[in-house]
Amino acid sequence: MGKEKMTKLEKQWVLYDVGNSAFVMLVSTIIPIYFKNMATASGISAANSTAYLSYAISISTILVALLGPVCGAAADNKGFKKPLFTAFMMIGVIACAAMGIPKTWLAFLVVFVIAKVGFSGSLIFYDSMLVDVTTDERMDEVSSHGYAWGYIGSCIPFVGSLILVLMSDRIGISAAMAMMLAFGITAIWWVAVTIPLLLNYKQNYYAETKVSVKETVVRLENIFSELKANKKVLLFLISFFFYIDGVYTIIEMSTAYGKDVGIGDSSMLLALLLTQVVAFPCSILFGKLARRFESEKLILVCIGAYFLIALFALQLDTAWKFWFLATCVGVFQGAIQALSRSYYAKIIPKEKASEYFGVFDIFGKGASFLGTMLMGISTQLFHTSKAGVVMIAALFVLGFVTFCLQGRQAQKGAQAQSVNPAQQKLQTQNL
């Protein structure tokens, strides 16, 4: 973006990252502790409670994976994107506010799944809005600013929630009431910072003709047919499926894992707050680096770093190691998500952005059921959360390899385009 300032609409788009990141922060910090304490009180073992939370996350992501492509295709109709975005966002907000109501661990997981579906569903439309709010040249930095300000902005409601939870006795409220207030604060923050985008966003890219539900399914089939022909996009999505699954699993299960290996609640919450603070400048830095280096190379660096993070987590047993791990995650967490989002937005047809981002959500947020499911199953089978971490490390290896294959496919495409017209004509005549 250089010296050029962000436009008003770009800033308003970024604000939604600030809003929904507060929910992400809640999911990765307070919710696992709250749920595991609730499950323990019901006589459930630490390993099983981690597994049940993993399964709940998996269910929510599978639901979004099923809804995503159809909703994404429908959103490419003129004027459909914002209403669908608003509907899913409000489902997430209302369910988030209601999470303090259930008194049993199973009922809590049901409300949690609804909140996760609303949150993840809203991102299908939010991510596809990127093509409407900025240009190809600015996408990397605008996307990076979204994650960066999301991380630092989410600290505001989180710090308020943290004070309530950790100091509930001194304030004179019960721990349960503190949690209810934390859920409410997050929900209010989420919807409040979304209002500017709702008021000013306009859909610039859309299908010229209105599409029915049946036609939406047909168009979705066409998208998958196009993917078969476009190996670059297909290989990127396969790679993204693996490595981003590992990233999301680390985000959502780090607190549960830390609790299993004996890290104190207060230490974990403060360390994860540090992750947000570190992620802010690092996300912006990687956005600027994308002007000097190819996005593909930066994404590979991030995947490699996450593989090393997963290996380090295997010998996690003290608070200082958790703090070190939280810092490392902060360096690469925003970068890998922002660069992946903007890289994908640049290689797809803009007029089909919502459809393609619906597919993106299958391979991305919808794919995170794999990591959490593998972690849940392996934790129950081997009675230790570390078995699940090994599975996460393997996801990064698969993602790295397939991303390299995607790079080779892109080079082949560039070489094919460099063939001069005379050679192409000669090849056609020979055929």
Segment 153-169 mean pLDDT: 89
pLDDT band at 102 (very low <50, low <70, confident <90, very high): very high
Asked if pLDDT for residue 425 goes beyond 90, the answer is no
pLDDT band at 111 (very low <50, low <70, confident <90, very high): very high
Residues 276-320 have pLDDT tens digits of: 889 888 988 988 898 888 888 999 999 999 999 999 988 887 888
Res 215: pLDDT? 72
Could you state, in order of their start, the residue ranges of all structural domains in the chain?
Answer: 9-203+218-416
Answer yes or no: CATH 1.20.1250.20 is held by domain 9-203+218-416: yes
* Among the listed residues 398, 283, 381, 296, the one whose alpha carbon sits nearest the alpha carbon of residue 346: 296
Q: Which residues contact 275 (CB under 8 A, 6 or more apart)?
A: 151, 326, 327, 329, 330, 333
Residues 10-22 have pLDDT tens digits of: 999 999 999 999 9
**Helices marked H in 293-420 — which ranges?**
295-313, 319-347, 353-363, 369-382, 386-417
Whole-number Å distance between alpha carbons of 244 and 340: 9
Give the global pTM: 0.73
User: Measured on CA atoms in the order 31, 33, 36, 38, is the torsion positive or negative?
Assistant: negative
Residues 362-419 have pLDDT tens digits of: 787 656 677 778 888 888 888 777 888 888 899 999 999 999 987 666 556 555 544 4
Question: What are phi and psi for residue 77, nearest 5 degrees?
Answer: -70, 145
* Lookup: tokens for 256: 């549960």
* 261 DSSP 8-state letter: T
